[in-house]
Amino acid sequence: MMMMDRPTVLSIAGSDSGGGAGIQADLAAFAYFEVIGTTAITAVTAQNPHAVTGVYPVEPAGLAAQIDAVFGGFAVAAVKTGMLFSAALIEQVAARLAQHRPRWLVVDPVMVATSGATLLRDDAVEALCSKLLPMAALITPNLPEAEALVRRPIRSAAEAEAAAVELSGRYGCWALVKGGHGRSDRAVDVLVHAGHTWRFSAPRQAAPTTHGTGCSLSAAIAAGLATGETPPESVRRAKAYVLGRLRSCQAVGPETWVMLPPCSLPLQDIEVTESRS
C-alpha cells in the first residue's frame, strides 16, 4: 500500500553557498515542518551572511528540466519561488507551472539580498508582475519589495495595509506584506484576502544576523499550506518559526552568525487580529 503521510513541497530558488538563505534555508524549513523537500535551482550564488560575491544563473532549459523531473516523480502539494534573477528564468517557471498547475504557489518576490546585492534584474520585474504573480495563491513581499510593486513609498502601518489590499486585488491572491523592515517596537505582517485583513504582530527581535528570514518565512508558509493549514494558520506558524530562528543564532566564524532551527515554536508571542472591510 502506498502511504503519503508527508506531502511534497518544491522550492524554485537560488542556492546559497553560505547555507543561510535560498534553497538551503527552504530545505531546513521543510525538514522542520516534516514535509518532503524538493528543489529546482535557478542560480548558484557565491555568498555568505555578509555579501554576495557572484551569481551564476542556470540555463532556462535546465531549470525547466528540474521542475518537470520533480513533478514527474512526486505528488507536489505546494510550490514556493524565491530568487528567480532574470526574465528568461521567470518565463520558464511560469510556463512549467502553468503546465503542472500546483494547488498552492507561494511567490516570494526576492529582489535584493539582506546584504544589499541585487537578486532580480531590472528587466525581470515586468516578467515577475505579468507572468508569475497572477499565478500565485499567496505572495510575500517585504516593505521594499512592496514599494517596488505598488510604486510608492510605504512609511506607516496603514500604508503597508493599503499596499497589501492593492496587491491582493491586482493579482487575485492572498497578499502578505511583511513588516520586518519597519521601525516600530513590534514587527507587524499584514495578510489580506477577499476583504479580510489579518495582522500578525511579534516583538521585534534583535539578532546578530537576519540573513535568510524571508526565505525561511515563505518556505514555512508553503509547508503549512501543503499540510492542509489555512493561509492565516500557515503565516502564524511561519512567523513563529522565523522568530524562533532569530532567537537561536550561533557564531560560526569571525563576526559570522547563522540562525538555527528553534527547539519549539514561540506561538504564544505571535498576536493575531482579524478585521473585515
Whether 178 is a known active-site residue: answer yes
E strands, the chain, where? 8-16, 36-47, 52-57, 76-81, 104-107, 138-139, 174-177, 186-193, 196-203, 249-253, 256-259, 271-276
Whether 273 is a known active-site residue: answer no
Catalytic option among 213, 224, 239, 244: 213
Whether 80 is a known active-site residue: answer no
Catalytic option among 22, 182, 214, 224: 214
- Cβ 78 vs Cβ 48: under 8 Å: no
Catalytic option among 38, 182, 215, 227: 215
The terminus-to-terminus CA distance of the chain in angstroms comes to 48
* Cα–chain center distance at 133: 13
Q: Which residue has the cell 521601525?
A: 183
Catalytic option among 178, 227, 239, 244: 178
Whether 214 is a known active-site residue: answer yes
137 three-class SS: coil
Residue 127: its H or E element: helix 125-127
Catalytic option among 180, 210, 224, 244: 210
List the one residue out of 275, 269, 272, 274 whose CA is nearest residue 242.
Answer: 269
Q: Which residue has the cell 524538493?
A: 38
Whether 54 is a known active-site residue: answer no
Whether 215 is a known active-site residue: answer yes
Catalytic option among 212, 224, 239, 244: 212
| Catalytically annotated residues | 178, 210, 212-215
